Structure 1
């Protein structure tokens, strides 16, 4: 699968769009997929950083004649025709992609529709819900992602991935939770990759009058207060000031308290259960920061222009002294994020190009191991382990049974799962299981959709597909319900479109 990501970074925009897309890109590359980036050459762009990590990166003009200040307002609409034209100068007719992912507040349905000249599928990453999209998949990993929020902006054919379950966390943040110490002394401060607003300086002033603390400041490149911060930090042996670090997850894992912004780092902190004081440095961070505070996941002080040095100092003092409150923040935040969000998004993308094929006798060992896996047997109607001889007999009979269809689903990094259809006249019962490592990522939905397309070609007279599910198997109940099956007790059935009015 070939993927193009369209996103920008700059001192004004920040690095958050590139950061979260890079997390997804790494998961996709690990799965054998090819990913490229297209970014404008704004001040503070990250194209060299992407190139050094081995990514193919296309550089677009910093500004366009139609909008000379395009890089200044992170929510300003870009002249989409000029952006598409710039891409046309860089991409050849051979540059066909399976997906184009756009993570940009300034691009909407006009750009997305035009971009289909390079890809049949378009995905958008958003957290504003303020403009029309013409996409096949839309992701909002924040609390702002709700069906009602996006109802005016996407069509019914668009698949949506909403909420922290899809928060794209780098693998280094999937580790043991931060221990909540009775005596909290270590603080980590970071307000993003650039911190153009200079909030790190405010935190420095707040911490300068609190004794006995060990503090790491990750100031961001191009920080406007860098000279003053260096001077203030120079006389304090327990303060460490850096513009950037490759050990961010390690620093977070050893901190007692985090002071920072309300962007993508919110989910990294949540995954670690790191108690946090949050200040929104951009308008698009406010709603999510407020919602995280409402559910008890962090302490939110408000937009940056409403937070004084003194109020920040008092908040730090209170939270460091209150182990119970820090423990409560940690517990609640870890309930929101499990660190598998990027893999779920990658599965949603790859699921659209999932390959299904009829099983053969050469699949015997694969099917045997998959069916006997504990996670599969636990929710099977017949939960006993099968023996090898019996399995071979069953498989041989299945492969010559014209009323049974056994399908193996595969992607570039290997097999995903198995579908079995047993036909009786115009009905067929489906059974499904996934292979180890594929659970909980959304592959089941892709299998059912692909299987339905396959089986309606194989048995065109089929009218209904149904399924039997154990009452306690809530994951499968949700799977079939989300796939459009109607529940009756713990059986599901789906009337195929061509026969809905028969």
Structure 2
């Protein structure tokens, strides 16, 4: 299947969003899926991270800051969501089976626009501050309870919540069994992400000098976009026990060998937890506060506060305390390790495809069970003709349908179980759709997925059809919502979805 990622990184955004998307892309690629990325050019855009992994990467033009909307992080996009949506659709150059969106400046308006080219949408979020139009939402944070997204996601959207879904490279799971809390001779690891514009790394280094830990090894990891890189290099050069590490560093190995870490409460948090590495947390962005507080309450990290509010002396005191009380560090490490096992990417990949809908043309032996589904009270309730159909009448209709060149009857299945029935009637360059779910499948969001999958099937198999029309009863609000989520818009007295001929089917 074809999977696209819309994500950005920059000096302001950092690199964590791109790194975790790359982790998921690696997992999906191992399963045979084709992954690609779309990023916008920002100051310090780390597209090289993506290209180094071998993924196609379309770079949208740098924005001028005009047209940003009211979202708290809209400056991260640098333009309007409408413009970004149009440019993203052009960059994708066709339809995708999944669109993964990891961006605080994009919400349901952008996502709805991309429905025309994305069969399903996965949103990766951390802050629960905007409405989404998605089929799957991932929030890997400790404070991500279901109530947090009440009213922010559509009915039928599945939620993957908590650190068990943390997107970590497979190396962390491999090293987990070998790691233990407070390795007696391990180093102190300092890492504040790929950018660290605030200079928290330098504050941590001053704290280490103040704490006077003797000749204990200090590993300092600095991203290529860190504006304080030269000063950090010089600090390390003057101290024999300090070792500077730049881009391409083997982070899992450094974490597995360390006694203690000092770092931010970003995506690296879950890597440290997986390896049972006790950590002194310093928050360097407002959106990290809730997560840091949740970890501190769980006893899985020591949070000393925001970078702007603490001093090197504060950090030095925390360092002395942990090295003077190794039992405390062991408790912190043990509680951290319980949260993450390193298999989150596998769980997310399984969730993405565990309910994928496959389509197949109806066959002769489907006749009677389709009659049973169509005659069920729940199906007839919303039919234009709610009266029961006699079995012999249905059998004649079914035989005629299978032989018609301008009518196709499709059955949607999920893991071998029937989901619903689609019928398309072709007139010229337009097809009219009729759809219903198998009784008992209601309320799972499968209607929209079935319709979207059918649209892609039709575009591939009937390339002369340029639009699909749907007639929906006014009282059938659930059906109207499913068609709207599948990319249909109100057109005169019915709903219509334009098609791009020749796009590939997902089945």
TM (normalized to structure 2)? 0.69
Matches within 5 A, 1:264-275: 264-275=267-278
List runs of 5+ in structure 1 lacking aligned partners.
358-401, 404-446, 466-481, 484-496, 498-502
Helix, strand or coil: the match of 2:224? coil
Q: Aligned partners of 1:36 and 1:84: how far apart in 2?
A: 16
What is the aligned partner in structure 2 of residue 199 from structure 1? 200
Q: Between the two structures, name the one with larger relative contact order (CA 8 Å, sep ≥ 6).
A: 2
Change (3 A) 1:235 1:69: farther
Contact 1:166–1:342 (Cα < 8 Å) also in 2: yes
Distance of aligned partners of 1:171 and 1:9 in 2 relative to their CA distance in 1, 3 Å threshold: same
Q: Deviations over 1:129-163 (max 9, x none)?
A: 11010111111010232111110211222111111
Q: For residues 300-379 of structure 1, what are the structure 2 equivalents within 5 Å?
A: 300-353=303-356
Give secondary structure in 2 for the equivalent of 1:98. strand
Relative to structure 1, the CA distance from residue 68 to residue 97 in structure 2 (aligned partners, 3 Å threshold; closer, same or farther) is closer
Alignment correspondent of 2:451 = none
Q: In the aligned structure 2, how far is the partner of 1:260 from the partner of 1:122?
A: 32
Q: Tell me the secondary structure at the aligned position of residue 301 of structure 1.
A: strand
- Is the contact made by 2:188 and 2:261 (CA closer than 8 Å) also made in structure 1? yes
- In the TM superposition, what is the alpha-carbon distance from 1:165 to its structure 2 partner? 1.2
CA contact (8 A) 2:4 2:38 kept: yes
Q: Matches of residues 170-249 of structure 1 in structure 2 within 5 Å?
A: 170-174=169-173, 175=175, 176-181=177-182, 183=184, 186-209=187-210, 210=212, 211-249=214-252
Aligned to 2:56: 56
Q: Which residue is equivalent to 2:298?
A: 295
8 Å Cα contact 1:12/1:74 also seen in 2 = no
More displaced stretch, 180-189 vs 148-157:
180-189
**Aligned residue for 1:380?**
none
Are 1:63 and 1:69, in contact at CA under 8 Å, matched by a contact in 2? no
Tell me the distance in 2 between the aligned counterparts of 1:15 and 1:462: 44
Contact 1:12-1:71 at 8 Å conserved across structures: no
> In 2 relative to 1, CA 308–44 (structure 1 residues): closer, same or farther, beyond 3 Å?
same
Q: Is the 8 Å Cα contact of residues 6 and 39 (structure 1) preserved in structure 2? A: yes
Distance (Å, rounded) in 2 between the aligned partners of 1:464 and 1:223 = 55
2: CA distance between counterparts of 1:461 and 1:46?
45
Cα deviation for residue 64 of structure 1 reads 4.3
Cα pair distance change 1:72/1:60, threshold 3 Å: farther
Name 1:491's counterpart in structure 2.
none
CA deviations 1:397-423 (Å, max 9, x no partner) are xxxxx99xxxxxxxxxxxxxxxxxxxx
Distance 1:215 1:99 in 2: 42
Query: What's the TM-score once normalised by structure 1's chain length?
Result: 0.69
Query: Which residue is 1:385 aligned to?
Result: none
Structure 1 ranges of 4+ moved more than 6 A: 68-72, 460-465
Residues 119/455 of structure 1: CA separation in 2 closer, same or farther (3 Å cut): closer
Gap change, CA 1:276 and 1:29, over 3 Å in 2: same
Give the whole-Å Cα distance in 2 for the aligned partners of 1:151 and 1:448: 29
1:83-137 CA-to-partner distances (Å, cap 9, x unmatched) read 0222244333xx2100111100000000000011211211111011110101111
Distance 1:238 1:194 in 2: 24
Q: 1:182 to 1:223 in 2, by over 3 A?
A: closer
Tell me the distance in 1 between the aligned counterparts of 2:165 and 2:337: 14
CA gap of 1:260–1:343, structure 2 versus 1, over 3 A, is same
1:257 is aligned to 2:260: yes
The more displaced of 22-31 and 65-74 is 65-74
Are 2:65 and 2:75, in contact at CA under 8 Å, matched by a contact in 1? no
Q: How many residues align?
A: 379
Question: 1:169 aligns to what?
Answer: 168
CA contact (8 A) 2:358 2:414 kept: no
**8 Å CA contact 1:64, 1:79 repeated in 2:** no
Distance 1:134 1:271 in 2: 31
TM-aligned CA deviation for residue 348 of structure 1 = 1.2
Q: Distance in 2 between matches of 1:301 and 1:266?
A: 15
Secondary structure, in 3 states, of the residue corresponding to 1:256? strand
Q: Residues 273 and 185 of structure 1: is their aligned pair in 2 closer, same or farther, counting only changes over 3 Å? A: closer
Structure 2 partner of 1:145: 144
Compared CA separation, residues 181 and 33, structure 1 to 2 (3 A) = same
Q: Distance in 1 between matches of 2:142 and 2:18?
A: 20
Structure 1 residue aligned with 2:405: none
Residue deviations 1:364-413 (CA, integer Å, cap 9, x gap): xxxxxxxxxxxxxxxxxxxxxxxxxxxxxxxxxxxxxx99xxxxxxxxxx
Extract unaligned runs of 5+ from structure 2.
361-367, 370-411, 423-435, 446-477, 479-507
132-141 or 202-211, which deviates more: 202-211
Match of 2:40 in 1: 40
Match of 2:396 in 1: none
Deviation (angstroms), 1:235? 1.9
Alignment CA distance shift 1:448-1:263 (3 Å): farther
Q: 1:233 to 1:76 in 2, by over 3 A?
A: closer
Secondary structure of 1:117's partner? coil
Q: Hey, what does 1:96 align to over in structure 2?
A: 95
Deviations 1:406-452 (A, max 9, x none): xxxxxxxxxxxxxxxxxxxxxxxxxxxxxxxxxxxxxxxxx995444
Cα deviation for residue 73 of structure 1 reads 5.3
